[in-house]
Structure 1
Amino acid sequence: MKPKKIAIVAEWLTSRAGAEVVVYELAKMFPQADIFTTVFDPSNHPKLKKRRVKTSFLQKIPVLNKIHQLALFLLPMAISSLNLEGYDLIISSSSAFGKGIKKPSGSRHICYCHTPMRYVWEPDLDNRLAKLPLGNLIIKWLKKWDLKSNKSVDQFIANSQNSALRIKKYYGCESKVVYPPIATDLFKNVKTSSRRDYYFTISRLIAYKKIDLAIKACKNIGRKLIIAGSGPELKKLKRIAGNEITFTGQIGEREKVHLYCQARATIFCADEDFGIVPVESLAAGTPVIGYKKGGILEIIEDKKTGVLFDNQTAKSLRAAIAKFEKLSFDRNKLIKSSMKFDSKHFKDKMLSIIKSL
């Protein structure tokens, strides 16, 4: 099939995170494609300012058009309300609701799945729903909806081998693996001074990212830590931080590049399906100290491109930092190891899958 008209679907375009990187790259690959989403905040997405972005009814509802999390019960309805008639190919980017589109007759739907809904299928890792009143009933309802929405998908693409296993486990569906596109070009020809005496982490500040472990570990051994990003955990994290911990808030690409390049190492405490942060760190020539579970096992080789720690505890992280400080790493080898995740690989593999449909 040779697609004539393409739609790119994002579940929401409010804040910026890893999923948006995929949407940006798809938009770049298909400059004539229309973009659909439930809610859109153009101020947070300047890369899409010249694109036609079509939204759902949620866009017209104050507050909900900025804080999509409050619209949980409306999101399945909102995503399925998007009018995709006339599109030959639909590519959805989904970690929760994106794949729940209403597929028109004759269309093909590729779902780039970052993860099956974490707070539904793995509430032990992400308890945002489970801890709510009637949380278990909400989870039961969303599981049914999630499985039903798989029927519209012609081809699942997983963002890692780790995600592919979970798609198989929870959905019973096979998937092809295409790693997310990492803008390794950002780090090329960057003029940086020598390493500075700090560790770095960048993340949305939400509970399952486990930023508190990095704070506790660095505070305990008197190491400087710079934390970039924002989120609902900010106040809580600031309360436990000491004088050696710096919060930058949201930062631009240029500042991000320099913070990566000058750090002793990047700390990554989350159990993620893939993990864009470790790849960006390698592209900057900076080793990673990371939790030994999830997608990071496809990125970091222990003692060669970083140090992995076994338990998601501050004690285990402290031991990893101590081990790291006794090792040395070749910056050029770190950069080389990031190249298999660059945007060209993503583009080539996606186009190959599309042509095979």
Structure 2
Amino acid sequence: MSLKCALVHEWLTPKATGGSELVVREILNHIDADLFALIDFESSNPESYLYQQKIGTTFLQHFPFARNGVQKYLPLLPLAIEQLDLRAYDVILSSSHAVAKGILTTPEQLHICYCHSPMRYAWDMTFDYLRQSKLGSGLAGWMTRYVLHRLRQWDVLTANRVDYFIANSKHTARRIWRCYRREATVIYPPVNIESFPFVPQKEDYYLTVSRLVSYKQVCLIVRAFNKLQLPLVVIGTGPEMKKIRRIAKSNIQILGWQPNDMVKKYMANAKGFVYAACEDFGIALVEAQACGTPVIAYGAGGALETVRDVREHGDQGTGLFFKEQTEEALVDTIKQFEIYQGKLNPECARVHAAQFSPQIFAQRYLDFLNKCTQNLTIT
């Protein structure tokens, strides 16, 4: 007897195009599942693969300005996700980086959560969130702290609603254990390797592609290249755009948002891809390596699982790490990169990136799902 599956994700909007959305797309390529989310503005988007697909949503769908970021209704997200009635399904698959894992289930249902990250603004980034938010000080600040406190309590409680956790990296698995005291199986997310052009001969510029938000540390990269006076291209948009434009010197091009084809072109031709954030996985690092482009990355988080430092791996190296999120550390590493770049083989980077292909993700995810559902009894 076939199992009836539901797939739950946080939000589906044209601006949400990161690694978690790629996981949702790949799961739907292989599993016949009904899709649910807090909000959905993709099924009405003619350019989306979800165009005209039936997607279940919550009351937040009708709230003002939800399309531009439902996170503004943060205190309501737990309540909203719990309003989705999925009792008709045998298996619940959640793709969660905020509240999707908090879906209500019955004892007869199986819930498998692919966790991209425990809720960052409730855990690791609480103090950054408070410092940057207009609601982070005064009486409003204390109210915000209380909301985040209750959110952490709810987040831990709802971990008990999950039967099996999958983590997108070993780094995320450790965070899941720290926050929830739950073990997680690591299955790396899919990266569409074949869609990125392999270019062995590089041009004379460095590149970073990122949302321009504080934790991505793009300002740090810009300040380091101001000192180095080497050519840097910055692609991306976000709240730090004005600040970055203000501090950037003439050797830095800030292109803002660019279509995918243009991003791939710049990524394929760059002499090095620079990334300064601590990511749970870091899909852009793998995309750069798929192009044969070496990576200069902050040596923490998921980068340690996706990039091979040439100083340690020799001929199999695909980039260099800098150990501290400081201008000095990045400047020193770029100088070393200028020396080591002749030892970095573009073909090795491409081969290394291939282990994160959609085919490998699908095989491991489906094998895990089959294993979990073997003893599931349908009543």
Query: 1:295 — aligned with what?
Result: 302
Q: How many residue pairs align between the two structures?
A: 352
Query: 1:18 — aligned with what?
Result: 19
Query: 2:93 — aligned with what?
Result: 91
Query: 1:192 deviation in Å?
Result: 5.0
Q: Does 1:157 align with 2:178?
A: no
Q: Does 1:240 align with 2:247?
A: yes
Q: 2:193 aligns with which of 175, 184, 187?
A: 184
For 1:245 and 1:74, the matched residues in 2 are separated by 41
Query: 1:306 deviation in Å?
Result: 0.2
SS where residue 48 of structure 1 aligns? coil
CA pair 112-11 structure 1, distance change in 2 beyond 3 A: same
Q: 1:196 aligns with which of 203, 208, 218?
A: 203
CA pair 114-197 structure 1, distance change in 2 beyond 3 A: same
- Give runs of aligned pairs for residues 139-158 of structure 1, distance below 5 A: 139-158=148-167
Query: 2:119 — aligned with what?
Result: 117
Partner deviation per Cα, 1:295-352 (whole Å, 9 max, x = no partner): 1111111111101001101111111110001112111111001111111111011111
CA pair 238-265 structure 1, distance change in 2 beyond 3 A: same
Q: 1:319 aligns with which of 332, 336, 351?
A: 332
State whether residues 211 and 236 of structure 2, in contact with CA within 8 Å, keep that contact through their aligned partners in structure 1: yes
SS where residue 320 of structure 2 aligns? strand
State whether residues 267 and 273 of structure 2, in contact with CA within 8 Å, keep that contact through their aligned partners in structure 1: yes
State whether residues 39 and 66 of structure 1, in contact with CA within 8 Å, keep that contact through their aligned partners in structure 2: no
For 1:273 and 1:84, the matched residues in 2 are separated by 29
For 1:291 and 1:186, the matched residues in 2 are separated by 26
User: Which shows bigger deviation, 245-254 or 39-48?
Assistant: 39-48
For 1:152 and 1:56, the matched residues in 2 are separated by 19
Query: 1:307 — aligned with what?
Result: 320
Runs of 4+ deviating beyond 4 Å: none
Partner deviation per Cα, 1:274-304 (whole Å, 9 max, x = no partner): 1101111111100000001111111111111
User: Which shows bigger deviation, 135-144 or 145-154?
Assistant: 135-144
Query: 1:277 — aligned with what?
Result: 284
Partner deviation per Cα, 1:122-180 (whole Å, 9 max, x = no partner): 137x6114652124322211110101111210100000011111111111001100001
Unaligned runs of 5+ in 2: 311-316, 373-379
Query: 1:251 deviation in Å?
Result: 2.5
Give RMSD over aligned pairs: 1.8
SS where residue 340 of structure 1 aligns? helix
State whether residues 58 and 65 of structure 1, in contact with CA within 8 Å, keep that contact through their aligned partners in structure 2: no
For 2:169 and 2:123, the matched residues in 1 are separated by 18
For 2:236 and 2:35, the matched residues in 1 are separated by 26
Query: 2:351 — aligned with what?
Result: 336
Q: 1:346 aligns with which of 338, 361, 364?
A: 361
Query: 2:257 — aligned with what?
Result: 250
Query: 1:113 deviation in Å?
Result: 0.6
Query: 2:377 — aligned with what?
Result: none
State whether residues 155 and 175 of structure 1, in contact with CA within 8 Å, keep that contact through their aligned partners in structure 2: yes
Question: Identical aligned pairs, as a percentage?
Answer: 36
Which one-letter code corresponds to 1:22 in the other structure? V
For 2:118 and 2:55, the matched residues in 1 are separated by 25
Query: 1:8 — aligned with what?
Result: 7
State whether residues 194 and 262 of structure 1, in contact with CA within 8 Å, keep that contact through their aligned partners in structure 2: yes
Query: 1:194 deviation in Å?
Result: 3.6
Query: 1:230 — aligned with what?
Result: 237
Query: 2:273 — aligned with what?
Result: 266
CA pair 317-343 structure 1, distance change in 2 beyond 3 A: same
Which one-letter code corresponds to 2:270 in the other structure? A
State whether residues 120 and 129 of structure 1, in contact with CA within 8 Å, keep that contact through their aligned partners in structure 2: no
- TM-score normalised to structure 2 length: 0.88
State whether residues 200 and 347 of structure 2, in contact with CA within 8 Å, keep that contact through their aligned partners in structure 1: no
For 1:85 and 1:231, the matched residues in 2 are separated by 39
Which one-letter code corresponds to 1:164 in the other structure? A
Query: 2:313 — aligned with what?
Result: none
Answer with 1 or 2: which has the greater Rg.
2
State whether residues 295 and 319 of structure 2, in contact with CA within 8 Å, keep that contact through their aligned partners in structure 1: yes
State whether residues 198 and 292 of structure 2, in contact with CA within 8 Å, keep that contact through their aligned partners in structure 1: no
Query: 1:3 deviation in Å?
Result: 5.1
